[in-house]
Amino acid sequence: MKKNRHFIIGSISIVILAFYFSLPKYIQRAIIYQKVGIEDYKIFENRTVKAGNYIPWELSKNYNKIKLNDSTLKKIEKYKPIAFLVIQDKKIRYERYWDDFNQNSLSNSFSAAKSIVSLLIGIAIDEGKIDSLNQKVVDILPEFSKNPENKNLRIVDLLTMSSGLNWDENYGSLFSTTTKAYYGTDLWKQINNLKVTEQSGKKFKYLSCNPQLLGIILNKATGKTVSEYASEKIWQKIGAKNDALWSLDHKDGIEKAYCCFNSNARDFARFGQLILNNGRWDSTRVISENYIKQATKPATYLSDKNGKPVDFYGFQWWIMKYKNYNIPYARGILGQYIFVIPEKNAVVVRLGHKRDKRKKNHTPVDAYLYLKAAFDILE
């Protein structure tokens, strides 16, 4: 009886292993790692985004003097934070870290990287590397025209998530294109097989292929990797303290432009400060003010899935309403946030392991919690 049981278990194990090894490599990796995490840079190849001359943040005279009450902290900690940072008048008012993370600890940006890519596109337009927002994608990437449906796709359609490309933005499926993009090893091949199946420039549909294609365009238009261009045109100019890491699809491959910029809370806040300063860092013009204003203005000429004007998204930057303020922000799937509050001359960063799945006005409900906490500190 025992021999029969061992034989059955052994046979089942062999079948399971045979099935596992018959799966595509990216699905095997997805099964091994099971879920995404903020330290996934450790399982990917990465390219360094080199920092330059460090420009330290000043500490406010009221640094960490205002404490969040126990009730607010309890609500924040429900979402497993690792960092919460509030900057006002370019000085740190409040910061706190959890789980052995500190001001230098790396964390994955996830989709907040999309907002970084948008800034790089703005710079490429400013420099004439890209002709304009209306330039056709195939002008820069002729190989993308193998599907004739793609011939009229424009840069602005990618920026506003209105490309109409046939991409499956499903995070819960092993077989979705997004899972393949994350764990796969040939992003260009995956992107180049896409085609426009809905009219571009009409309807908002959040697709990670859009910023990924923008990253490939940046590479072709500038002759530099996305990491090199980010380092030269932004990271060094805004005085980042530490090198960042941008995860790649394979060794010496291309950046996962739709995600996976790895840095720390203080340095992430610099992107928010750049938006707050309308594209300047101190006396240095980094990005044109015109592009910043367009990027953080809702693309209301588009319609959402319910046919309503898009009042919540610009050029890869989200816009939310809070206390009658319009707040541009970057966000990632596990609650990575960079909020910009112009009326308070403030930037708020939250990093962590979890985000609420519920949304209010297209914004995850936990975002309102972090803004309430920040306003308690600022007011």
What are the pLDDT tens digits along the chain (379 aa)? 555 554 455 545 454 445 445 556 666 676 766 689 999 999 999 999 999 999 999 999 999 999 999 999 999 999 999 999 999 999 999 999 999 999 999 999 999 999 999 999 999 999 999 999 999 999 999 999 988 999 999 999 999 999 999 999 987 677 788 899 999 999 999 999 999 999 999 999 999 999 999 999 999 999 999 999 999 999 999 999 999 999 999 999 999 999 999 999 999 999 999 999 999 999 999 999 999 999 999 999 999 999 999 999 999 999 999 999 999 999 999 999 999 999 999 999 999 999 999 999 999 999 999 999 999 999 7
Q: Which strands make up the sheet holding 46-49, listed edge to edge?
A: 46-49, 244-247, 261-263, 107-108
At residue 276, the pLDDT reads 99
At residue 173, the pLDDT reads 73
- What CA–CA distances, in Å, run from 86 to 101, 328, 345? 17, 15, 11
Q: Which residues contact 191 (CB under 8 A, 6 or more apart)?
A: 209, 212, 213, 216
Between helix 265-276 and helix 112-126 the angle, nearest 10°, is 50
Q: Can you give the length of the chain in residues?
A: 379
For the entire predicted model, the pTM comes to: 0.94
Do the Cβ atoms of 248 and 47 come closer than 8 Å? yes
Instruction: Give the residue from 183, 172, 131, 134 showing the smallest Cα distance to 23.
Output: 183
Q: Are strands 244-247 and 46-49 parallel, antiparallel or unpaired?
A: antiparallel
Residues 91, 83: Cα–Cα separation, whole Å:
17
At residue 1, the pLDDT reads 53
Q: Which two tokens stand for residue 166?
A: 């046939």
At residue 224, the pLDDT reads 99
Q: Which residues contact 154 (CB under 8 A, 6 or more apart)?
A: 133, 134, 135, 136, 137, 200, 201
Residues 319, 160: Cα–Cα separation, whole Å:
12
Q: Which two tokens stand for residue 260?
A: 């996976």
At residue 19, the pLDDT reads 44
At residue 21, the pLDDT reads 52
At residue 7, the pLDDT reads 45
Instruction: Give the residue from 378, 263, 106, 259 showing the smallest Cα distance to 370.
Output: 378
- What CA–CA distances, in Å, run from 190 to 44, 159, 213? 18, 19, 10
Do the Cβ atoms of 218 and 124 come closer than 8 Å? yes
50 Cα distance to chain centroid: 19
At residue 176, the pLDDT reads 82
Q: Which two tokens stand for residue 346?
A: 């403030």
200 Cα distance to chain centroid: 22
Residues 210, 136: Cα–Cα separation, whole Å:
14
Do the Cβ atoms of 352 and 82 come closer than 8 Å? yes
The DSSP letter of residue 56 is: P
Instruction: Give the residue from 210, 244, 214, 240 showing the smallest Cα distance to 227.
Output: 244
Q: Which two tokens stand for residue 266?
A: 């203080």
Q: Is 112 helix (H, G, I), strand (E, B) or coil?
A: helix
At residue 365, the pLDDT reads 98
At residue 27, the pLDDT reads 66
